Structure 1
Amino acid sequence: MSLKFLLKCVQFQRTFLEINKRLPSFAYSSTTAAIKSAESSDVTNFHNEKLQKYLETLREEFYKLRVQPTNDVQIHQRIGKLNKIVHNLEQYRAIKSNMVSAEDMAKEKDDDMLSLMKEENEVYSDLLKKAEAQIMIELLNFTDSDTCGSIIFEVNAGAGGQEAMLFANDLYEMYINYLENNGWDYDVLDHVTTDIGGLRNANVIINSREAFNNLRFEAGVHRVQRIPATEKAGRIHTSTVSVTVIPRPDDKEIQISEKDLKIETKRASGAGGQHVNTTDSAVRIVHLPTGLSVESQTERSQLKNREIGLKRLQAILIKRQYESTLATTQATRRAQQGNLNRNEKIRTYNFVQDRVTDHRISNGTTHNLREFLQGGEQLNEFISRIAIDHRKYVLAEVLTNWQEPKEKNSS
């Protein structure tokens, strides 16, 4: 065994350890699988020539911005986003530069040395795949820049009567579990139930940018197929539940003036213990400009009910503003809810076959439905895959419309 071979082994070991230490920890999880399963266009392939030119343009922009002193918050935010892409791109290129070329291997006469070269390239190839996947994740996140600090999340029973309401409650509990699993702050504004444990509708404000990035893809009609407990003939019933996601942009908070409100108090009614019918804790708020009215009597404190009522009123006004905006562009709230017909759906929950099928993604079927409804990893995997599909679509549009900057003529 030659000294040259031993030195090469030592050099390779040091290089591998250094690169692997710098490369971000990256497991081939559901996110990685999502990228592979979301191939929608050649232009979003990592090795596509146009995508590579786009990456190089982003790299050049990053280094130019970094050396220019500025107090502009938006520029600093862009530098931060670009940094994640460029950092991984530089690591990718460093790994690639360490690979032995086919020409060098063809010239090598030492069999041991040639074997080591091949082994090196295999290791570096695995590292390149990890780096490629990480770059694509950062690029997809960078391209899809839609964001807002909080959302209004609604669950509404649709076609199917009591069965639809029972399933609406199942979905509501699934999403509440999902929120709690992710540690997101939320506030339940409305939760209208039925006597048999069903849910007519629920309205939740979720304060998290991550919530918007994930839950916006849950908007639409969810279809359930199962045999109701009251069905004696064993027939499968089909019902629907709609989910609506309304963003609350940071710069478009609706201000409600006190002079536009008519606030009435009364004694709470219904089940609720000793405080019911003993104090004027219930609150009814009327928004005079629109005629909208809301009521709240869930709390013992009149001040707390007033606070909840104002939040409900603001949520309704935001919803109206959002729907109005969509109506003047390309969609309406109906695009999310459809008309609640049984034939319209984004996802089907089939209890008889113990499966959940998302109709927007390939291979979008999973089993163990009860586990899925716990709002854990199975739901998170579906959401991740749909998010990746959406972001790849956005990236494809960006690259299709993107023009490579023309080089400036040197004077």
Structure 2
Amino acid sequence: MLLRKLLTARSHHLLRRWASTDPLCFQNEKLQAYLESLRQEYYALRVNAAGNSSLYARLSRLDPVVNSLEKHRALQRNITPEQDLAAEKDEDMRALMLEENNVYAELLRKQEEAMLQELLALADHEDYPSLIFEVNAGAGGQEAMLFAQELYDMYTSYFEHMGWEYEQYAHETTDIGGLRYANLLVNDPEAYNWLRYEAGVHRVQRVPATEKSGRMHTSTASITVIPRPADVQVHIAERDLKIETKRASGAGGQHVNTTDSAVRIVHLPTGLAVESQSERSQLKNRELALKRLQAKLMQQQLESSEATKQATRKAQQGNLNRNEKIRTYNFVQDRVTDHRVQQGGTQHNLSGFLEGGQPLSDLIERLHLEQRKLKLVELIEEWQPPQKASDKS
């Protein structure tokens, strides 16, 4: 009798599927309506997607979500309704039915977890074959430039850890091993989805080697992630360029003072200006400056076409002030903290983290999960069911 009561109580707890106000709970009516709309879209695409690559890509992304939904509904059909349980007179049979319901309820819970992961991936996946990755020193002078170099090393190690191909096409360093800025092209269709939330101001807190009083300094560097769509092309006409040469400034040897190797290019239609002096050859600096200009023009195109979105370079970089940050690297406390991750956002062993391997990968995965949940909640809350023909008339 005690076992039967326990089964009945657990069954009622798991199977009483009332409506929920949590937008990511599968008993939420709006989430159920949204899932049904995805299912209908999926079966419509199966009829119409042939020969259309964009529709077929959407169909492929919907496939795991709809398959999970169909499995979920099949499991629900195996659960004995409460009214049938109440009508069963044989107590042993009722206990058996309750036990089966508990088994199916646990399978439902696991299926809902799997479906949520599929939904999160669907809500926050954008296809770009490559991206432009920028590291720029911010506030803090030479210390900021040293930190920018450490971030550059960390992320290039992470690219290698992920197996992504990348190409450096602008890179300006200082005479003490710091980095003013660096631009890289990362070629991998998954790179943008993993790196998009790395964009922003990164803050470092530590005691510089040159600080005699032991006072901790705070400096910043910024990361910018610019997606490169396959269908966006930037054409630069020679007549639209104003090209100037000058002698490179800073350390670098005798050639700095004897040749006009530095190149500055102004794009006349937009007023955008770039320069490069990292190479000894004027021709090489001209080539690098043109690549930087092309990246800026592409970014401008993307921002104008996505003006309503927040993922612009200005939003990513902020003003590079010390009080603006997405992540803090504290050397005194040997920790790194991502300020957007509620649980598990702090890791210790900073030197290991800066190697850019699994520790960074783990933090990026946790950040992704939180950001994807926020985006899915926003998507569901903004979603409106399509109007029926009778409603329009």
TM-score norm. by structure 2 comes to 0.77
More relative contact order, 1 or 2 (CA 8 Å, 6+ apart): 1
| Aligned pairs, number | 363
> Against the structure 1 CA distance between its residues 165 and 118, is the aligned structure 2 distance closer, same or farther, given a 3 Å change threshold?
farther
Mapped pair 1:142 → 2:129: no
> Against the structure 1 CA distance between its residues 234 and 117, is the aligned structure 2 distance closer, same or farther, given a 3 Å change threshold?
farther
1:259-290 Cα shifts (integer Å, max 9, x gaps): 54577999999869xxx89xx9x785745634
Matched with 2:207 is 227
Offset of residue 133 of structure 1? 1.9
Which shifted more, 148-157 or 391-400?
391-400
Q: How does 1:111-190 map to 2 (within 5 A)?
A: 123-190=103-170
Offset of residue 252 of structure 1? 2.4
Counterpart secondary structure, 1:67? helix
Mapped pair 1:245 → 2:225: yes
Asked whether the 8 Å contact 1:222–1:345 carries over to 2, the reply is yes
- Counterpart Cα distance in 2 of 1:299 and 1:167: 25
Ranges in structure 2 where 5+ consecutive residues have no aligned partner: 1-20
- Counterpart Cα distance in 1 of 2:331 and 2:264: 42
Offset of residue 244 of structure 1? 1.6
Mapped pair 1:339 → 2:319: yes
- Counterpart Cα distance in 1 of 2:210 and 2:89: 78
Mapped pair 1:316 → 2:296: yes
Mapped pair 1:380 → 2:361: yes
Q: How does 1:12-91 map to 2 (within 5 A)?
A: 42-68=22-48, 70-91=50-71
Offset of residue 85 of structure 1? 0.9
Asked whether the 8 Å contact 1:263–1:286 carries over to 2, the reply is yes
Offset of residue 127 of structure 1? 3.4
> Against the structure 1 CA distance between its residues 109 and 355, is the aligned structure 2 distance closer, same or farther, given a 3 Å change threshold?
farther
Offset of residue 51 of structure 1? 0.5
Which shifted more, 375-384 or 190-199?
375-384
Match of 1:350 among 330, 337, 353: 330
Match of 2:378 among 388, 391, 397: 397
- Counterpart Cα distance in 1 of 2:152 and 2:72: 43
> Against the structure 1 CA distance between its residues 225 and 147, is the aligned structure 2 distance closer, same or farther, given a 3 Å change threshold?
same
- Counterpart Cα distance in 2 of 1:204 and 1:165: 17
% identical aligned pairs: 54
Offset of residue 70 of structure 1? 4.0
Match of 1:216 among 184, 188, 196: 196
Counterpart secondary structure, 1:209? coil
Matched with 1:9 is none
Asked whether the 8 Å contact 1:326–1:333 carries over to 2, the reply is no
- Counterpart Cα distance in 1 of 2:216 and 2:262: 43
- Counterpart Cα distance in 1 of 2:211 and 2:304: 42
Offset of residue 386 of structure 1? 2.7
- RMSD of aligned Cα (Å): 3.8
Which shifted more, 96-105 or 214-223?
96-105
> Against the structure 1 CA distance between its residues 76 and 320, is the aligned structure 2 distance closer, same or farther, given a 3 Å change threshold?
closer
> Against the structure 1 CA distance between its residues 128 and 271, is the aligned structure 2 distance closer, same or farther, given a 3 Å change threshold?
same
Matched with 2:235 is 255
